[in-house]
Amino acid sequence: MADLVSMGELLIDFTPVGETEDGRLLFARNPGGAPANVAVQAHRAGVSAGFLGRVGLDMFGSFLADTLKGCGVDTRGLSQDPDYATTLAFVQLSPEGDRDFSFYRNPGADTRLSFAETDLSIVEECKLLCFGSLLLTAEPSRSAVHQLVDHARALGKITAYDPNWRPPLWKGREAEGVAQMKSLVPKADIMKISGEELELLTGKEVVEEGAWALLEQGVSLVVVTLGARGCKAFAPGLTLEKPTYDTKVKDTTGSGDSFFGALLAKVILSGKRPDQLAPEELGDFLDFANAAGSTCATKTGAIPALPTTEEIEACRKSVPLLHV
C-alpha cells in the first residue's frame, strides 16, 4: 500500500557529465520524469509511495523499473509496453545549472497508459494522487489521466497537480497544450507551479493575481516556486512567503520535483487536508520543501540527487537562507 501515488511519465534523462579529449559532450543515463521524481522524494521524506505509468519493454524501461523498485517505490501501477519505446530526454545545462530539454518521444510508451488496463487498487488504497500534464499530449493517456483523477476524487483522495510545461512536446500546438493543462486545474486540491506557468495558465503577470485565479477554480493550496527567491503559498485568506537555502547549485534537474515530493510527504504525515493546515504548520512544510529542492540542486541528475530527510534537515540546520 502506498500513501502517495504519483502518475505520469518515467523516462531517461541524459545529463552532460563532461567532454571527451576532443571536446565532444559525454552524457550519463539518469532515471527521471517529474512524477517519478516526486514519488522517490516523498518516500525518502518518510511516506510510502507508488508510481502509476508506462515505459517501454526495452533496456531503458527495465532499468527504470528496477530503479524505482530499488528506491522502495511500489511499482504495481508500472507496466511495460512491447510496441512503444521508453521516452528519452537530453538535458543541456547552462553555467548557472539551469536546464533545457530535447525529447525523443513520438509517441513514447508513457502516453500508452490506459484506464481500462490500470490496477485501480493502487489509487483506491492511497491518500494522495499526484499528477502532471505531460500525459495529456496524446491518447489513450490523456483520457486515462482525467479518469484516474476523477476516480481518486470520487473516493475523497487528496489530489496534487504540477503543470510542468514542456513546450517541445507541444510544438505547433501550444494553444492546445495550454488548454489541456488548464483542464486539470479544477480537479486539484494542491498545485505547485512556476511563475512562468502561472502566467501561462491564468494570463496574470502578478503572482498574487494568478494564484487567486487558481483558487477561484477550486484549488485549496497554490504554491508558486520562484527559483532563488524561494516560494509563495496561497490559500483562501492566507499568503505565505519563504526564502530558500543558499546552497551551491550544480544541476537544477529534479529540484522542483524534490520540493513537491517533500511538501506532499509533510502534508500526508500531518493527517490533514490542505485546507486544514495552520499557517505555522504550512510555513514549516514549505521551509522543509525549500531545503529539499536546494539540497537536490547540489548534485547532478534527478532521482540520484533526491535527498533523504536527514540530508534535508542538515541543510535547514547548517545552510544560510538565501535573500535576493
pLDDT tens-place string over residues 284-302: 999 999 999 999 999 987 8
pLDDT at 19 (0 to 100) = 92
- What's the pLDDT score for residue 253? 82
Q: What pLDDT sits at residue 95?
A: 64
Q: What pLDDT, in 10s, does the model give residues 205-250?
A: 999 999 999 999 999 999 999 999 999 999 999 999 999 999 999 8
Mean pLDDT of the chain: 95
Which residues are CB-neighbours of 63 under 8 A, at least 6 positions away? 12, 29, 31
Neighbours of 149 (CB within 10 A): 20
> What percent of the chain is modeled with pLDDT above 90?
86
Among 36-50, 84-98, 178-192, 272-286, the least confident range: 84-98
Residue 120 confidence (pLDDT): 96
Cis peptide before 35 (omega within 30 of 0): no
pLDDT at 72: 98
- From CA 113, how far away is CA 139, in angstroms rounded? 8
For residue 37, report the phi and psi dihedrals to the nearest 5 degrees: -60, -45
> What value, to the nearest 5°, has the Cα angle with vertex 304 and ends 273 and 73?
50
Please report how many Cα atoms fall inside a 13 Å half-sphere around the Cα of residue 154, on the Cβ side: 9
User: CA nearest 35: which of 70, 4, 1?
Assistant: 4
Mean pLDDT of 61-71: 98
Is the pLDDT at 113 greater than 90, yes or no?
A: yes
pLDDT higher than 60, residue 101: yes
Does pLDDT of 97 surpass 60? no
- Domain chopping of the chain, boundaries: 4-318
* In the predicted structure, residue 69 carries a pLDDT above the cut 70: yes
Name which of 72, 40, 16 is nearest 305 in CA terms: 40
The CATH superfamily of 4-318 is Ribokinase (3.40.1190.20)
